[in-house]
Amino acid sequence: MSPPSAPDDDFRWRQHNPGRVLDNALRRFEERVLELLREAGQTQTRRSHVNLTRHLDLHGTRITELARRAAMTNAAMTELIDQCEALGLVERQPDPADKRARVVCFTVAGLAWLDAFGQAVAAAQAEMAAEIGQAGMAVVLGGLARYAQARDEGG
């Protein structure tokens, strides 16, 4: 089956829509954060590991909840947990509320990594603000926060 014979402009929306632009911006931002982490000596983590750590509560989170938050299967999340556990960033512990269940928690080394990650995020955010301006940054963050909140509230 051959593709439809329509001018490329008819499909320009595929490259120029909020989802694509947000995805491209997120990729650029996270790659810069990881570059800054590497410069700070934190060379072991990849973008996929951030998908675990951004959803992990400081007091620990069940695997099923981590998978739900990250929109991943439990098996895929377990693989990320295994990788981060091998790096010494997280560990599995019994859930105090249900001894049959396990929660994933940051280790001491994981909390140190999280601190370095936070510093890298702040530096990357400052670079972004320098590039798009403080007013642009306020519009982006405020608008996206409102958009996400409306979804969370069922709006």
Report residue 75 as tokens: 């098996």
pLDDT in tens, 79-127: 999 999 999 999 999 998 888 889 999 999 999 999 999 999 999 999 9
Q: What DSSP character marks residue 60?
A: -
pLDDT at 147: 92
Mean pLDDT of 124-142: 96
- Helix, strand, or coil (residue 117): helix
Does residue 17 carry a pLDDT above 60?
Answer: yes
d(C-alpha 49, C-alpha 42), whole Å = 13
Q: Are 108 and 91 in contact (CB under 8 A)?
A: no
Does residue 11 carry a pLDDT above 80?
Answer: yes
